[in-house]
Amino acid sequence: MLRIKRRVNIEAFFSAFERSFDKNFSFEGERHNFWELVYVVDGVIGAAEDDKIYKLQKGDIIFHMPMEFHRLWASDGTSPRAIILSFSLSGTDFGVLDKGVFNISKEDEALLKEAVRHTGLCREYEDSQESQIAALNVERLMLNIIKNQTPDVRQQKTKGPLNYSRIINVMNENIEKNLCAEEIASLCGLSLSNLKKIFKNYSGVGVMDYFNNLKITKAMTMINEGVPIYEISDALGFSSPNYFSECFKKRSGLTPTEYKRRFGGREFL
- Asked whether 150 and 32 are in contact (CB, 8 A), the reply is no
Using CA atoms, how far residue 185 sits from 158, 159, 179, 191, 219, in Å, is 19, 16, 10, 6, 24
Q: Residue 6: pLDDT band by 50, 70, 90 thresholds?
A: confident
Question: How many whole angstroms separate alpha carbon 253 and alpha carbon 126?
Answer: 30
Query: What average pLDDT does this structure show over 242-256?
Result: 89
Q: What is the DSSP string of 176-231?
A: TS---HHHHHHHHT--HHHHHHHHHHHHSS-HHHHHHHHHHHHHHHHHHTT--HHH
Instruction: Give yes or no for a contact between 214 and 172, defined as CB atoms under 8 angstroms apart.
Output: yes
pLDDT above 70 as % of the chain = 94
CA 215 to chain CA centroid, Å, is 16
What pLDDT digit, counting tens, does each position of 124-165 carry?
545 678 888 999 999 999 999 998 878 776 677 788 899 999
Cα separation, 212 vs 178, whole angstroms:
10
Each residue of 27-54: pLDDT tens digit?
A: 988 888 899 999 999 999 999 999 999 9
The residues that bridge with 48 in the sheet, in sequence order, are 53, 71
Residue 81 to residue 19: CA distance in whole angstroms:
6
Q: What are 62-72's pLDDT values in tens digits?
A: 999 998 999 99
Domains of the chain: 12-148 (2.60.120.280), 159-263 (1.10.10.60)
Helix pair 159-173, 181-188: axis angle to 10 deg: 120
